[in-house]
Amino acid sequence: MSTPSDVERTVGHISAIPVDEGRMLRVDGHLVAVFHLRGGGGGVRATQPWCPHRGGPLADGLVGDATLVCPLHGRTFALDGGEAGPDEVGIRTYPARVDDDGAILLTLPADGPLPACSDDVPATAPPGPQAGTAPFAEDISQAPDPGSSPR
Amino acid sequence: MTRGDRRARLIVVGNGMAGARVVEEVLQRDGEQFEITMFGDEPHGNYNRISLSNVLAGSEDPRDIFLNPLDWYVENGVTLHTGRRVVAIDRFARTLRTDDGGVHGYEQLVLATGSRPWIPPVDDVYVGDPEHGKLKPGVFGFRTLGDCDEMLAWAEQASHVAVVGGGLLGLEAARGLLERGMKATLVHRSDRLMNVQLDHEAAATLQAAVEALGIDVLLDTSTSAVLGEDRVEGLAFADGSQLACDTVVFSTGIRPNVELAARGGMTVERGIVVDDAMRVLDEDHVWAVGECCQHRGELYGLVAPVWEQATVLADRITGAKPTAEYHGSKLATKLKVSGVELATMGLSEPEPAHDEVVRFSEPSRGVYKTAIVRDGKLVGATLLGDMGKVSFLMQAFDRGTVLPDERVALLFDLGGPSTEDSIAELPDDAQVCNCNGVTKGDIRSCVAGGEKTLRGVMGKTRAGSGCGSCKSQVVEIVESAAGGALEADPAADLYLPCIPMPKPELMAAVREHGLRSVSAVFETLADGTQDAKAKPALASLLRLVWGTEYEDERDARFINDRVHANIQKDGTFSVVPRVSGGVTSAHQLRRIADVVDKYEIPMVKITGGQRIDLLGVPKEQLPAVWKDLDMPSGYAYGKSFRTVKTCVGSDYCRFGLGDSTRLGITLEERFKGLESPAKLKLGVAGCPRNCSEAMVKDVGFVAVEGARWEMYVGGAAGAHVRKGDLLCTLDTEEEAMLVAGRFMQYYRQNAKWLERTYTFMERVGVDEVRAVVVENRDGDVDQLDTAMQTSIDAYSDPWLEAQAPATPNQFHTVVTS
């Protein structure tokens, strides 16, 4: 629930995310997964970036009717509220909307940018080079201009 | 505080098979009188613990072993608290307290707290403070779905398991992990396997069968310590010897969970002591059932006694039968280890003075049978390697029926009716499903009551839903009772659960309405409800129907198909270029090597499909890697035609009868990337030595004398192992190409989503496939050829998207504004 003291801020442009797909966006050095919905009147949803099960990248998951499926082992979460399948751990969600200019606005909790937790590292740090960070290199030179429409 | 609900409160502590069974039995007997609340430690509904061995071995999906899904509790008005522990019982106030401080009052309390694996006092099993022992990484008990999950996750990076304990469960655990590709050693204290159930000779025969599977057996070996500093590196034994291994599973028995009852002041010996009514000794309102309870000095760890106890308890607690009594159970069990058939019941050793023993042993075939008769009744039997008489013996053991005068007829059918006939001749009160106590008559009357599908009968009677070993008998009884009127289960043929149509019907509807995109299908055929998990299945089907006219919505693709690479556990991807027929060149290898150096690719692996896998590539680097490789995609990520494995063939091999590499390359070049319900892996062998394993591929060709090709379909050597069915023998490579295309197209049009050819062939049958694909019985081959050609013409190399991404940020996980 938003309260007046919560902070709403622009985190990106809707054109950066294809319809019914997700991408991770950076906020104050933290990552948030944002999904661009086709159904239910469109709009965006925002969640924590990693699956609580084995640290899968949620932004790479399948989406349908505000349900999200983790790409690694198929854990399912509600994009509204973050509830998981029966008796599984849910995910954190954040209020998000798109304004008339297509800017994605994320409401952050009033008591800090994002809860101080290890959101940027998968729950079980996977092996491999620079676990957890290498796959998401910061190279964005090939990102399309904001404003070009998804096809 | 007042409650709105005036009904008596029944609380069941424990949501395992026993607790849930009690509630089911209560509901069947005027359950309305109770407001029912259950507490369970494990975070799910109730599942069939007996099937955990199958889950471990990969022969059963964890989702399929649930007996009571969470919906069931809701539908029946049962309040289930999972993951909340009951910490104290006040039996005078009739309340219990949970770990979150909640207090719950009851009128009736059922304790079904079950048991836990017992780990013997071995040194260094735990890490850290032994008082609050955390098992050393690599050490497992084998009891819950959670144990199973953890073991399987661990097994991915482990190679050698030592299973401590050579009982039923230990054998099943060893076999399960062997199936997962681990080396397995069974360590047992006693001088023979399954020493509780088997005599020496039977155990020796069993041991030979187990060793033949590839499991090492160490007898008379007492484990003294787990080696390894912070993870398992081996076991040390009492005789001073050691065994190197990276995984240890303790299967050394169970201990009842009695602490809660003991703290609550109830009578506890080895288990919670109950009387014949299943009531806890001297308690009016507390009952106990299952593995946590002790009845007439006995603890039971098998499922059949639990069912019997639950029935009595429910009869009593509801007042349906106020004098119901439980008098103990006769124990019979079957081993669920594929490749070894074993059933035991009752005694394993006779008492020499009075008992008659009938024994047959044929160790070379692994067959051992024995029956023990006392006062004209069967009191024990073991069947190993030949289950021919198992239903008859179970029946005789359970009911104490009159035995044949010719005792040898206990073990063999003497020129009499075959086993099948003997099922038909079983009396109606013969118990068929021993796990759930279902008789032949129960099954027949269920069918007579109008249930005409196998799944329906199994759902209603629960026959066959325990250990599953009686399933074939259940099928037979249902079929004969339905007199040929057995209906196919409609759900068995659905392509997807969310749209209730079999595949051909769904394809017709898609054509009829002109539905070219996944969202259009949801809109028209599913009331606009999108099902995320159904998207890839529909995308595959639409591409099959429409070819190039398919309207591709990228969100309908699984991540692998969005970025044309296979996602790994750390979120990186693997890149596998096409190397048709596994034939490469110095030029290609040099280029691959350069790419590995340039992008510092951490792992390069030769795959089982004779290709080269570059692992650990970040998504952002995929386009650049593809460009530098300058090779086409090998489709190692999709539900599609993958690869053709070949042997050296006739050019160099001195045994080669056919040019397997040429046929392999031609197949792969023609069918590359073909969309399919599940992956297709092919093989071509140049002679029947079969070096490329063509007989266990989805489609395999084997060259035989006379330059002809045998074509095998539906083979598998992965999670399942199945030799392919010989579909036909073909005279030329051209014919081989043609029939391969027809078969794959027929499979594409008729298989369910994710149904591999080995399941598909089991379902459809080789005769049917041959009639359509080879003999052209229905005149379909022209359509199959045309449709296949259309799909082939629609091929384009997805790695060309490196030049022009299909969606914004296609290859970016993190986007910065």
- In the structure, what pLDDT confidence band is assigned to residue B416 with cuts at 50, 70 and 90? very low
Decide if A23 contacts A33 (C-beta within 8 A).
yes
ipTM of the shown complex: 0.77
Shortest Cα distance, chain B CAs vs residue A88, angstroms = 7
Instruction: Give me the residue from A19, A68, A135 closest to B619, CB to CB.
Output: A135
B817 close to A (CB below 8 A): yes
Q: Does B551 touch chain A (CB under 8 A)?
A: no
pLDDT greater at residue B434 or residue A94: A94
B639 and A CB contact within 8 Å? no
DSSP B92: T
Contacts of B353 (CB under 8 A, 6+ apart): none
Asked if pLDDT for residue B613 goes beyond 50, the answer is yes
DSSP-derived 3-state class of residue B374: strand
Tell which wins on pLDDT, B118 or B745.
B745
Indicate the residue of B82, B534, B602 with minimum beta-carbon distance to A128. Answer: B602
Distance CA B392, CA B387 (A): 10
What confidence score (pLDDT) does residue B1 get? 47
Mean pLDDT: which of B132-146, B339-353, B468-482, B682-696 is highest?
B682-696
- Closest-CA residue to B37 (of B73, B83, B88): B73
Which pLDDT belongs to residue B468?
Answer: 65
Residue B224: C-alpha distances to residues B124, B129, B187, B195, B238 (Å): 9, 19, 12, 21, 5
Task: Please state, for a pLDDT cut of 70, what percent of chain A lies above it.
Answer: 66
Weakest-pLDDT range from B3-12, B210-219, B802-811:
B3-12
Cross-chain Cβ contact B817/A131 below 8 Å: no
Selection from B53, B62, B58 nearest residue B179 by Cα? B58
Residue B420: its pLDDT value, please? 45
For the segment B481-506, the average pLDDT, to the nearest whole number, is: 73
Tell whether the model's pLDDT for residue B716 goes beyond 80.
Answer: yes
- Give the 3-state secondary structure of residue A106: strand
Q: For residue B244, how far is the Cα from the chain centroid? A: 29
Q: Whose structure tokens read 């409160």?
A: B9
**What region, left, alpha or beta, does residue B678 occupy, with left being phi > 0 and alpha being psi -120 to 50 degrees?**
beta
Per-residue HEC secondary structure of B148-176 comes to: HHHHHHHHCCCCEEEEECCCHHHHHHHHH
Count CB neighbours of B809 within 10 A. 22
> Backbone phi, then psi, for B533, in 5-degree steps?
-70, -20
What rounded mean pLDDT belongs to chain B?
89
Whether pLDDT at B149 is above 50:
yes
What mean pLDDT is predicted for residues A49-66? 91
- Please answer yes or no on whether A23 and B535 come within 8 Å at the CB atom: no
pLDDT at A142: 34
Q: Which of A67, A142, A18 is nearest to B554 (CA)?
A: A18
CA distance A60 to chain B (A): 6
pLDDT band at B476 (very low <50, low <70, confident <90, very high): confident
Find the mean pLDDT for residues B607-634: 95
Which residues of B fall within a CB distance of 8 Å from A31?
814
Q: Tell me, what's the pLDDT at A5?
A: 58
Six token digits for residue B297:
């000095």
Q: What is the pLDDT of residue A125?
A: 37
pLDDT at residue B170, as a whole number: 92
A37-48: average pLDDT? 84
Kindly state the tokens that stand for B110: 């059922």
Mutate to test the interface with B, among A58, A60, A88, A106 (most CBs of B within 10 A): A60
Q: Which of B530, B559, B807 sits opposite A64 (nearest CB)?
A: B530
Closest CA to B33 of B99, B111, B107: B107
Scan residues 462-521 of B and list those with Cβ closer than 8 Å to A: 519
Q: Mean pLDDT throughout A7-25? A: 92
pLDDT at B763: 85
DSSP string, B6-26: -SEEEEEE--SHHHHHHHHHH
Cα gap B205→B220, rounded to integer Å: 17
Q: Where are the alpha helices (DSSP H) in B632-696?
A: 660-671
- Using pLDDT thresholds of 50, 70 and 90, give the confidence band for residue A95: very high
What does the pLDDT read at residue A118?
Answer: 40
Q: How confident is the model at residue B661 (pLDDT cuts 50, 70, 90)?
A: very high
From CA B724, how far away is CA B553, in angstroms rounded?
36
Q: Which of residues 78-107 of B touch A (CB under 8 A)?
A: 82-83
Angle at B212 between CA B391 and CA B152, to 5 degrees: 85
CA proximity to B525, closest of B556, B501, B541, B504: B501
What is the residue-averaged pLDDT of chain A? 74
Phi, psi at residue B728, to the nearest 5°?
-170, 170
| Dihedral-angle region of residue B628 (phi above 0 means left; psi in -120 to 50 means alpha; beta otherwise) | alpha
**What is the rounded distance in angstroms from the CA atom of residue B399 to the CA atom of residue B415?**
25
B109-144 pLDDT tens trace: 999 999 988 888 889 888 876 556 688 999 999 888
Grade residue A42 by pLDDT with cuts at 50, 70 and 90: confident
Q: Which two tokens stand for residue B522?
A: 């949801």
The token duo for B314 is 């429910």
The pLDDT assigned to B134 comes to 84
pTM: 0.52
Distance from CA of B572 to the nearest CA of A (A): 5
Say which residues have a Cβ less than 8 Å from residue B132's Cβ, sequence separation at least 6: none
Task: Order across the sheet with B103-105: list the strands.
Answer: B86-90, B95-98, B103-105
Model pLDDT, residue A126: 38
- Average pLDDT for residues A8-22, to the nearest whole number? 92
Q: What is the pLDDT of residue A131?
A: 34
Sign of the torsion angle spanned by Cα atoms B740, B743, B580, B688: negative
Phi, psi at B155, each rounded to 5°:
-60, -25
For residue B397, the model assigns a pLDDT of 86
Residue at token pair 């009639």: B771
State mean pLDDT over B281-304: 91
CA pseudo-torsion sign A10, A11, A16, A17: negative
Q: Which of B57-66, B175-184, B479-488, B556-565 has the lowest mean pLDDT?
A: B479-488
The average pLDDT across A42-61 equals 92
| pLDDT confidence of residue A120 | 44
Q: How confident is the model at residue A149 (pLDDT cuts 50, 70, 90)?
A: very low
Residue B426 or B125, more confident: B125
**Is residue A89 very low, low, confident or very high in pLDDT (cuts 50, 70, 90)?**
confident
Instruction: Give per-residue pLDDT as tens, B746-777.
Output: 999 999 888 899 989 988 899 999 999 999 99
CA B179 to each of CA B156, B174, B270, B290: distance values in angstroms, whole numbers, following the listed order? 12, 9, 36, 31
Q: Is the distance from CB of B1 to CB of B102 less than 8 angstroms? A: no
Q: Which two tokens stand for residue B673?
A: 């990337």
Mean pLDDT, residues B383-399 taken together:
83
Tokens found for residue B593: 């090597």
Long-range CB contacts (< 8 A, 24+ apart) of B521-529?
Answer: B522/A64, B525/B499, B525/B501, B526/B498, B526/B499, B528/A39, B529/A65, B529/B498
**pLDDT at position B614:** 97
pLDDT score at B485: 60
Q: Give pLDDT, residue B55.
A: 87
Q: Which residue has the higher pLDDT, A77 or B339?
A: A77
More confident: B290 or B433: B290
Mean pLDDT across B6-18: 92
In tens, the pLDDT along B30-81 reads 778 999 999 988 777 788 888 888 888 888 888 778 888 888 898 899 999 9
Please indicate if any CB of chain A lies within 8 Å of the CB of B44.
Answer: yes
Distance CA B594, CA B596 (A): 5
Closest CA to B248 of B269, B232, B267: B232
Q: Which residues of A touch B554 (CB under 8 A)?
A: 18, 21
Please indicate whether residue A41 or residue B811 has the higher confidence score (pLDDT).
Answer: B811
pLDDT in tens, B670-689: 999 999 999 999 999 999 89
Q: Output B785 or B455, whichever has higher pLDDT.
A: B785
- How many residues does this entry show for chain A? 151
Tens digits of residue pLDDT in A27-36:
887 899 999 9
Q: Is the pLDDT reported for residue B555 higher than 90?
A: yes
R_g of chain B computed on alpha carbons = 30
Q: Which residues pair with residue B337 across a beta bridge?
A: B340
- Six-digit token pair at B111? 């304790």
What integer pLDDT is reported at residue B685 of this predicted model?
A: 95
Answer whether A69 sits within 8 Å of B812, measured CB to CB: no
Higher-pLDDT residue of A86 and B184 is B184
Cβ separation of B805 and A11 shorter than 8 Å? no
Please enumerate, as own/partner, the contacts of B652-657 that have beta carbons within 8 Å and a separation of 24 or more: B653/B686, B653/B687, B655/B686, B655/B687, B655/B689, B656/B686, B656/B687, B656/B703, B657/B686, B657/B687, B657/B703, B657/B704, B657/B705, B657/B707
Burial of B771 (0-12, 13-18, 19+ CB in 10 A): middle
Chain A residue with Cα closest to B617? A135
pLDDT in tens, B782-810: 999 999 999 999 899 999 998 888 999 99
